[in-house]
């Protein structure tokens, strides 16, 4: 693992003329609009980067983008990996280790998620302030390389409170309604049953999705402060559950995405 990280970091440095990103960004499904705001300097296809996981169809077009956003040097993952695609947890989180190796000091993550909280409606944004991990595997399982971070990483503040406060005050300034809540990670790819949505709400979830938590665990082990935000694309309300419709969900994500981009571009200037 260490050798693979080093090799990939060296390759990327060579290909990007030693570009030194300060912030890493993982863009969620249907949430690539932030890329338009980046003054792009370099782009690398995942499929050309050594040790990046072998591509599935969705991942095939994935790109690592290097450039400037709000005056900060950033690296953005356009296209993320999901456990349900068949990758191992260590494959999913490998890019986070590589971004850390490139020198990022903060990680920003976005995703599309289903609302569990009746007050949080489809199309709303939710800043993640904590999570519950229900995925069946852990990216740190089996890893004993102490240079990657502690064996038993602390998770008392997995999402940095001061960054959350900044983001909420930005949302307030620009009059964007933005909730704060607990994200539950499941493996997918099936959606939840009514009974499962009910259960996820009962155990304390405000939103449910199939990503983010593996990357956040690894970032915490690596000592990287994390900020994460969900676009709530559907309502997992058991009282009135509508059949899942992917096109509708992508349409909701596309419509809400500019609000998220506005908050993130302003936030990046401040961290
Ligand atoms: N459940 C799980 N993952 C999701 C959902 C959902 O309702 N919506 C978007 N991703």
CA of 155 to the centre of ligand 1 (A): 24
Q: Does domain 2-270 have CATH number 3.40.50.1580?
A: yes
Task: Kindly state if the Cβ of 233 falls inside 6 Å of ligand 1.
Answer: yes
Residue 138 has pLDDT above 70, yes or no: yes
Residue 174 has pLDDT above 90, yes or no: yes
pLDDT recorded at residue 245? 87
The pTM score is 0.94
Residue 79 has pLDDT above 60, yes or no: yes
Mean pLDDT over 106-112 rounds to 96
Pocket test residue of 207, 234, 242, 251 for ligand 1, highest count of atoms within 8 A of CB: 234
CA of 81 to the centre of ligand 1 (A): 15
For residues 195 and 193, give the distance between their C-alpha atoms in angstroms, rounded to a whole number.
5
Residue 270 has pLDDT above 70, yes or no: yes
Confidence of residue 31 (pLDDT cuts 50, 70, 90): confident
Task: Kindly state if the Cβ of 235 falls inside 6 Å of ligand 1.
Answer: no
CA of 234 to the centre of ligand 1 (A): 7
Confidence of residue 57 (pLDDT cuts 50, 70, 90): low
Task: Kindly state if the Cβ of 208 falls inside 6 Å of ligand 1.
Answer: yes
Determine which of 17-21, 152-156, 208-212, 244-248 has the lowest per-residue pLDDT on average: 244-248
Task: Kindly state if the Cβ of 210 falls inside 6 Å of ligand 1.
Answer: yes
- Nearest-CA residue for atom 3 of ligand 1: 209
Confidence of residue 53 (pLDDT cuts 50, 70, 90): confident
pLDDT recorded at residue 268? 97
Mean pLDDT, the chain, whole residue set: 94
pLDDT recorded at residue 143? 79
CA of 159 to the centre of ligand 1 (A): 21
Mean pLDDT over 116-125 rounds to 97
Residue 96 has pLDDT above 90, yes or no: yes
Residue 59 has pLDDT above 60, yes or no: no
Confidence of residue 145 (pLDDT cuts 50, 70, 90): confident
Closest CA to 201 of 252, 236, 171: 236
The more confidently predicted of residues 120 and 56 is: 120
Mean pLDDT over 154-173 rounds to 97
- Nearest-CA residue for atom 6 of ligand 1: 114
CA of 221 to the centre of ligand 1 (A): 26
Residue 61 has pLDDT above 80, yes or no: no
- Nearest-CA residue for atom 10 of ligand 1: 113
CA of 37 to the centre of ligand 1 (A): 27
pLDDT recorded at residue 112? 94
Contact between 176 and 263 (Cβ < 8 Å): yes
CA of 235 to the centre of ligand 1 (A): 9
């Amino acid at each position: 693992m260490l050798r693979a990280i080093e090799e990939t970091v060296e390759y990327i440095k060579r290909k990007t003329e030693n570009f030194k990103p300060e912030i890493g960004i993982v863009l969620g499904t249907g949430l690539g609009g932030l890329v338009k705001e980046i003054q792009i300097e370099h782009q690398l296809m995942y499929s050309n980067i050594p040790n990046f996981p072998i591509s599935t169809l969705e991942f095939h077009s994935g790109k690592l983008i290097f450039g400037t956003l709000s005056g900060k040097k950033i690296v953005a993952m356009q296209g993320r990996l999901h456990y349900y695609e068949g990758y191992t947890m260590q494959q999913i989180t490998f890019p986070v280790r590589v971004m850390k190796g490139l020198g990022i000091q903060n990680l920003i993550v976005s995703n599309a998620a289903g609302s569990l909280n009746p007050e949080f409606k489809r199309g709303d944004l939710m800043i993640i302030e904590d999570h519950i991990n229900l995925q069946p595997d852990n990216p740190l399982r089996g890893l004993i390389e102490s240079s990657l971070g502690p064996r038993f990483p602390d998770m008392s503040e997995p999402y940095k409170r001061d960054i959350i406060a900044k983001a909420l005050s930005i949302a307030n300034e620009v009059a964007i309604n933005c909730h704060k809540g607990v994200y539950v990670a499941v493996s997918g790819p099936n959606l939840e049953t009514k009974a499962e949505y009910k259960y996820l709400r009962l155990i304390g979830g405000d939103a449910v999705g199939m990503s983010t938590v593996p990357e956040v665990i690894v970032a915490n082990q690596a000592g990287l402060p994390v900020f994460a935000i969900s676009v709530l694309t559907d309502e997992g309300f058991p009282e009135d559950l509508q059949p899942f419709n992917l096109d509708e969900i992508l349409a909701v994500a596309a419509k809400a995405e500019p609000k998220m981009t506005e908050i993130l571009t302003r936030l990046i200037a401040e961290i």
